[in-house]
């Protein structure tokens, strides 16, 4: 070493320091992304639950206003039409799964088209022949059978339909996922 060598002042960060900072930022970003994705999924599930309750309330409101359910569950011509035919369950309940739930909601949607505020159809989803859209859009396009459902919160490209279950013994119904 030269005795009179000029001492070089060091400025900036070393490669190791930069890599440590970048690694810490990557870990924080990964944790934040996971939290955001979990939050988005939870909000989708809550939206489905709220839609389910809204549909059930609309059916109850229809019954309160008209004195009967929007579908004749006990009519010999309609009992068992297009529903699950498990003999043991059938004596107790009648289920409308998949696209069959359109039969139950048909009169409710007719009332909505007339201006009765039984249900806000702008946020409820359906999948009809022309694609996936809101119930309001389907009704405006003149669709007659409009089954209601929801995008799967785990896989948004998969569409599931709500299930309507009518219980004969109690004369009540539920809307289920």
Q: pLDDT digits over 80-105, tens only?
A: 554 444 554 556 888 898 888 999 99
Q: Given the structure tokens 């059978």, which residue do they identify?
A: 145
In the predicted model, what is the mean pLDDT of the chain?
83
Nearest Cα to Cα of residue 105 among 166, 171, 167: 166
**Residue 159 CB neighbour total at 10 angstroms:** 15
> Is residue 71 a contact partner of residue 104, using CB atoms and an 8 Å limit?
yes
Q: Where are the domains of the chain?
A: 43-176
CA separation (Å) from 112 to 35, 116, 137, 139, 158?
39, 5, 13, 10, 27
pTM over 0.85: no
């Amino acid at each position: 070493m030269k005795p009179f060598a000029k001492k070089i002042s060091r400025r900036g960060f070393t490669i190791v320091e930069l890599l440590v900072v970048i690694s810490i930022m990557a870990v924080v970003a990964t944790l934040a992304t996971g939290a955001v994705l979990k939050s988005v999924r939870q909000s989708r599930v809550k939206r489905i639950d709220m839609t389910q309750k809204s549909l059930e309330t609309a059916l109850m409101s229809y019954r309160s206003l008209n004195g009967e359910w929007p579908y004749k569950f006990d009519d010999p011509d309609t009992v068992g039409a297009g529903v699950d035919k498990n003999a043991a369950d059938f004596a107790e309940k009648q289920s409308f799964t998949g696209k069959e739930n359109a039969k139950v909601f048909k009169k409710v949607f007719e009332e909505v088209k007339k201006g009765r505020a039984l249900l806000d159809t702008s946020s409820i989803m359906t999948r009809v022949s022309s694609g996936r859209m809101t119930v309001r859009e389907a009704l405006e396009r003149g669709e007659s059978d409009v089954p209601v459902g929801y995008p799967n919160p785990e896989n948004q490209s998969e569409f599931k339909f709500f299930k309507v279950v009518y219980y004969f013994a109690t004369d009540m119904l539920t809307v289920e996922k």
